[in-house]
A and B are shown apart, each in its own frame.
Chain A
């Protein structure tokens, strides 16, 4: 069993024809319903639903407050290494981008940890490029041992692993997994992932499921918006989340909506995803999956993040550095992508409070067998 089978069944669905038949009345009917089915989700992603964004926003806001309260979980990414063996058209870490690569030593990881703690952060997501040599499971285990003294929750956004490798990391103290499929459209996926293990679409698609099987407490998925027609991509993401929720009841499933940002390769998105489109994607997903977490990254500007916040967001990164070793030491190498929101943690917290939200820094306690 795999989400791939569901994807194959639906990928050739006549989306454009379906969208052309949808009216505002159809959208309003969906908004009367208590719980939404797959077709209702697609209706909320239709061009017709663009005329109902305010109604959708009110409902999405109300449901989010009901389930999550007026709270936002804050976290920060920590880039461990930018070595990468993949050739991907849109990413600065791509193997054919020539820049000095780095990998943090355990001593440097300790320094970064101290800097992050000082900034007031307790939930960290560890990131690497894809290189089994430079970001091996052993290296990650040593990293976790250093970091769990400092933090309350550690998650990973690294190359996809096998189930038993995820199990090893969970036993060591990792509780969350983020894997973006980048693009669900399999043909377009192949056009952008030219060389390296990432070319294997299916292995990546099944990674969230392997993580859930391995006992990850939370699994975060997403599509990189701009790679293909966003309505379809968001639809596939929502179906993938629903598949995971149904099959792995005990795992918290969360969604992200990253839009393509400027990067070293000068990649231009194929599809322009406007702020209005992004809002519709978030609202439709919130109404379809009322319990799913929703992450907002520093890819978006501080101004836009303020407006997006009440629409269903539950987690956001603060004071992010997308540079290896970027917290303790400001000497820059190359970042994976440019961030837009450059405010400090204190500024982010203050702005959340002004908007009537409580910033939550700690919302877990690492429970390894020593506790």
Chain B
């Protein structure tokens, strides 16, 4: 049986989402994206220059078979996110949108309240909305009710490579939400991507860790393996972990 991830009306067979930021050249970015096996790539509308050509136009270097997930990077309010989303759609970048509303430039933490507002407006306008958020169950439910297609909680602050520090909160989202949970931000190593997948996350989004690796192409491949391994482990039923050894001769075995 094929293990597919459904977002909106689209079925994906790959569970690694990638990004276009922080690469030192577009050629390398293209190669890393291709080798990652990823089907969805996020790109900041603020960086897209539709009038440019060649190296200046980032869209030309994104593999054509990938689904574009424009993001609203730079938005500080719901209103700005909505306007950026509309510009992205008008620019022919499809109707998927990752909402990023960040009004804190130090830790780059998302504003859940403004994000939920933007989710509602854009979902009503027919966008497939993936909100980036701080893992909070009530906020996630509000975004689900507002029409989100998936929920993207952060593992730790953007670009921090600190791993899944919000593990307990993300686990609650995985248990309680019907929508796919895509862990976004903070994943610094393939082992952390595998960890998120073992926990039952539907997918992960990885950008900084690939783009800023010494060899981004090989790192993209490593993440591809890790996501697949983590997913397989989850589907196979990861055994419970304990800190103490289990007695090999049970005391109550005689009860039959």
Contacts and interface: CB of A to CB of B under 8 A. Distances in A.
Interface in A251-266: 251-253
5 contacts: A65-B22, A66-B161, A249-B105, A365-B45, A367-B84
B46 A365 contact: yes
A66 B211 CA distance: 9
Nearest to A290: B106
B19 to A, nearest CB: 10
Nearest to B24: A70
Interface residues of A, number: 30
A357 interface: yes
B115 interface: no
- Name which of A245, A250, A365 has the most chain B CB atoms within 10 A of its CB: A365
Given A66-B212, A69-B208, A253-B105, 10 more contacts: A66-B159, A68-B22, A69-B21, A70-B211, A70-B212, A250-B76, A361-B49, A364-B74, A365-B46, A367-B80
A79 B46 CA distance: 25
Given A250-B76, A365-B45, A365-B84, A353 B25 contact: yes
Interface string A243-285: 0010001111100000000000000000000000000000000
Interface of B: 21-26, 45-49, 52, 56, 74, 76, 80, 83-84, 87, 102-106, 108, 159-161, 208, 211-212
Contacts of B74: 217, 364-365
Interface string A40-75: 000000000000000000000000011111110000
Contacts of A69: 21-24, 208, 211-212
Contacts of B211: 69-70
A210 B211 CA distance: 37
A251 B22 contact: no
Given A66-B159, A252-B105, A152 B22 contact: no
Contact of B22 (A71, A217, A371): A71
Contacts of A371: 83, 87
B52 A361 contact: yes
